[in-house]
A and B are shown apart, each in its own frame.
Chain A
Amino acid sequence: MKINMFQRMIAGLMMSASLIAPTYAQDDLDNPAWFMVDDGMALWETPNGPNDVSLEECDLGLGAGVVEGAFAQLPRYFEDTNQVMDIEARILHCMETIQGRDLVDVLAKPYSNAGGPGTEMEALVAYVASESNGMELATPQDHPAEQAAYELGEQLFYFRAGPHDFSCATCHSQSNKRIRLTELANLTNDESGPVFGSWPAYRKTEGVVRTMGWRLQSCSRQQRLTQLQIGSEATTALEVFLAVNGAGAEITAPGYKR
């Protein structure tokens, strides 16, 4: 037993040594988000809900069943709902219309607690986004509704409110600034691209994949505002603002964050 303990200690020491070896570099293989991508793909293809069908016929903007490249052009205007929808709103829409599901369950807990395990929504978003990995961010601004969403997003971004009179811009409109050790990009210009393109992301502080919808919800809480709702008009508009500012950036989702 004693030897066993000793062995464990030695193994532990060697392990930490190899983990901080200088050759260690961040890459796809290191990112546990890819496990969630696998889960999301399986969920996408698995029949669910009263209609017992999968989400494979879901139209994410490039036609029914096309997942590859769809995330690069979201949020976008959808004729069938006459709305600009983000990835989460669209997935919810497909769950409801294709699978016939009551969304109460999904909406009760779209995002997981720290430590996981991840939710269906997080897995699906990770999967869909990963299918645009390496592509350019090309959020459309053709339809008047898409342009209106950008304008609304811009207004919301600069809108000061809450007990501290903060806006998103208070924390996110200067370059080369940090809060504690975290670098905060200027989201009002093209610095927004690499940021938008790296969500959803695995957060190592929480051990789960987080979506952009969650990120904005969390920031609205930091701003001491009423919580932004998943897939809502306000969430979507802010995403359009961020994505369009960052147009052309490479999508690296699923990302890896603090």
Chain B
Amino acid sequence: MAGKIRLRASLNGDVAEVKALMRHPMETGLRKGKDGNPIPAHHITEVKATVGDRTVMHAFWSGAVSQNPLIGFNVANVKEGDEIIVSYVDNKGETGEGSATIK
């Protein structure tokens, strides 16, 4: 099941201010559980944002990002009504996606 991303893109001139909140445990792989065994790493490795066929943001993450991460970024050269899609892939190959109309 794909993970959820809550997303908003508000237009300011021709720049969209985007905020995306992802639901993810972001386990570093360095923590130990109550039984003393390491908790396996489970974290997002890549986040990508696209508008149409344009990749407008591409980030590579490690486990050093908080649980349920929030990312904010600006996208230039967009207009009202454009659709932005944000997606992630994690180290287990699981994916998440969310989309929003820029307004």
Residues of A within 8 A of B (CB): 4, 7-8, 11-12, 14-15, 18-19, 21, 23-24, 29-32, 34-35, 38, 115-117, 204, 207
Contact = CB atoms under 8 A, between A and B. Distances in A.
Given A8-B60, A8-B62, A18-B72, A23 B17 contact: yes
Contact of A19 (B7, B23, B72): B72
B70 A207 contact: no
Interface string B39-57: 0000000000000000000
A19 B70 contact: yes
Contacts, number: 55
Contacts of A4: 60
A207 B67 contact: yes
Given A23-B17, A32-B21, A115-B67, A8 B61 contact: yes
A7 B60 contact: yes
Given A23-B17, A29-B21, A35-B4, A11 B59 contact: yes
B68 A35 contact: yes
Contacts of B61: 8, 11-12, 15
Interface in B8-41: 8, 17, 19, 21, 23, 25
A100 B101 CA distance: 44
A32 B60 contact: no
A236 to B, nearest CB: 31
A18 B71 contact: yes
A29 B5 CA distance: 10
Given A21-B72, A30-B70, A35-B68, 8 more contacts: A4-B60, A8-B60, A14-B59, A15-B59, A31-B21, A32-B68, A116-B25, A117-B25
B4 A38 contact: yes
A38 B62 CA distance: 28
B73 A18 contact: yes
Contacts of A12: 61-62, 64-65
Question: 6 nearest interchain CB pairs?
Answer: A32-B68, A207-B67, A8-B60, A11-B59, A35-B23, A11-B60
A229 B38 CA distance: 33
A24 B6 contact: no
Nearest to B34: A113
Nearest to B74: A18
Contact of A30 (B19, B25, B60): B19
Nearest to B73: A18
Contacts of A30: 19, 21, 70
A35 B5 CA distance: 9
Nearest to B12: A23
Nearest to A16: B65
Q: For B4, B8, B21, B25, which residue has the most chain A Cβ atoms within 10 angstroms?
A: B21
26 contacts: A4-B60, A8-B60, A8-B61, A8-B62, A11-B58, A11-B59, A11-B60, A12-B64, A14-B59, A15-B59, A15-B71, A18-B71, A19-B70, A29-B6, A29-B21, A30-B70, A31-B21, A32-B23, A34-B6, A35-B6, A35-B23, A35-B68, A115-B25, A116-B67, A204-B66, A207-B68
